Amino acid sequence: MKKFACFQIIIAFALFFTACKSKPVAPEIVVPETVTVPSPSATLAFTGIQADDVEHLRVSYNLEVKAPLPSTARIESWRVLIDGQDAGSAFSLNYPRAEFAIDSTVPLTLSMDIAALAAKGLAPKDNYAVTLTADLDVFSGAAVSAHITAQGTANFPGIQEPRFNITSIAVLKAELINTRFRVNMRIDNPNPFPLEMSGLSYELYGNGRHWADGIDKNSFVVNGRSSVQGDLYLMMNFINMERSLLNQIVNLVDVNYHFTGEAQISTGIDYFPKFKTGFDISGYSKVLDK
């Protein structure tokens, strides 16, 4: 019996190993890794500003577009905000070509008209925050593969011209042929920073006639949000003038004056360190005797 039992056990193990050996093994399933293709992107960076004059500025940006596949891009639309308000009509956008290759740097220039901004109530300002937004189409061949947007903000100080006013005109009588005028002028600086002035040249007309001119080579500073007031001295020559004009001045009557000139202005601002400003003032003044 024992031999028979052992034989049965041996037979059972043999059948078990045979079954295991013949059972098919399931193949290993390999899940492929998911490859994420990055989407096209664009950046717009402020690079600088230039000024043609106080009223006309050029704001520069660099546009860069990146995409995973060789392609091209095109600016389809753009807009400009100043402090969150639409200002597009006061700007024009210039760039070298309509369509450009991906991974290239494209310079963009916004031409800024301060007078047009003033008409919209957006100028003058002590500081400007000009935000340019460009909407772009990305092309793979002839088909549009993506729509993307780039945005950049330029922050820079504004500059306003000084304001000139005549407060009084006085006759300093030396003799009737050669008489000096003293013109009292006030110069207002509307900017928050000081302005240095030099090379002040001027001409004075009275009752439609040229009376005198001169140049003041001295320099002086007008502090921010303040004014200076001073005297300019001009020599007049009454030879060949009408008697009525001479009588007006001698008798100290009102004079219809026209005062023109220009000055060199230094701002201390990097993008517009110096400029010339002109003034043209007309009005009536009491002619004082001293």
pLDDT in tens, 55-95: 999 999 999 999 888 889 999 999 999 988 999 999 999 99
Query: CA 112, CA 87: separation in Å to the nearest integer?
Result: 10
**pLDDT for residue 13 is more than 70:** no
pLDDT at res. 25: 56
Range in 126-140, 162-176, 271-285 the model is least confident about: 162-176
pLDDT tens-place string over residues 96-116: 988 998 888 999 999 999 999
pLDDT tens-place string over residues 200-243: 999 999 888 888 899 998 999 999 999 999 999 888 766 666 66
Those residues with Cβ within 8 angstroms of residue 79's Cβ, 6 or more apart along the chain or in another chain:
86, 88, 132, 133
Q: What is the mean pLDDT of the chain?
A: 86
Query: Is the pTM higher than 0.75?
Result: yes
Domains of the chain listed by start with CATH number:
41-157 (2.60.40), 163-288 (2.60.40.1820)
Query: CA 189, CA 172: separation in Å to the nearest integer?
Result: 29
Those residues with Cβ within 8 angstroms of residue 3's Cβ, 6 or more apart along the chain or in another chain:
none
Q: Which residue has the higher pLDDT, 244 or 93?
A: 93
Query: CA 148, CA 4: separation in Å to the nearest integer?
Result: 85
pLDDT tens-place string over residues 162-202: 999 998 888 776 555 667 888 999 999 999 999 999 999 99
Q: Which residue has the higher pLDDT, 250 or 53?
A: 53
